[in-house]
């Protein structure tokens, strides 16, 4: 009977040790799970923040693109106006030269007739 009691005590001790080991492992796993959940929460928050930043950047890019296109259109209009002015100036200069030539020819004729 002493042997049975010793065996029973040994089994109970071993079960206690095993129980403590499993409890420690379970506690460790729970801690790891909590840490992983906290890291996941941080990552998800960061992901949401980055998605919002990305959306904001896309909106800003779209707005800048519209502004650029508007400015480019205005620039093209100004280039067209400038080219028209340059053409008008060239035409006016040619007309002035023709008028000068006609006046000089008329003066030459007048001098010829008077002389």
**Both tokens assigned to 77:** 């209009």
Q: What is the mean pLDDT of residues 10-26?
A: 94
Q: What ranges do the domains of the chain cover?
A: 1-83
pLDDT at 1: 86
Q: What is the mean pLDDT of residues 45-71?
A: 99
pLDDT at 23: 96
Instruction: Summarize pLDDT for 81-110 with one digit per residue, the tens.
Output: 999 999 999 999 999 999 999 999 999 999
Rounded-to-integer distance, Cα 23 and Cα 16, Å? 10
72 or 8, which is more confident: 72
**Both tokens assigned to 105:** 């020819």
∠ CA 87-88-89, nearest 5°, is 90
Confidence label for 115 from pLDDT (cuts 50, 70 and 90):
confident
């Amino acid at each position: 009977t002493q042997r049975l009691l010793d065996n029973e005590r040994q089994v109970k001790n071993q079960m206690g040790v095993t129980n403590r080991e499993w409890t420690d492992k379970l506690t460790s796993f729970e801690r790891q799970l909590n840490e992983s959940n906290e890291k996941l929460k941080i990552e998800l928050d960061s992901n949401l923040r980055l998605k919002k930043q990305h959306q904001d950047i896309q909106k800003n890019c779209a707005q800048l693109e519209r502004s650029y296109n508007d400015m480019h259109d205005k620039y093209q209009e100004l280039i067209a106006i400038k080219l028209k002015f340059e053409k008008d100036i060239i035409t006016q200069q040619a007309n002035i030269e023709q008028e000068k030539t006609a006046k000089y020819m008329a003066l030459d004729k007048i001098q010829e007739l008077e002389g």
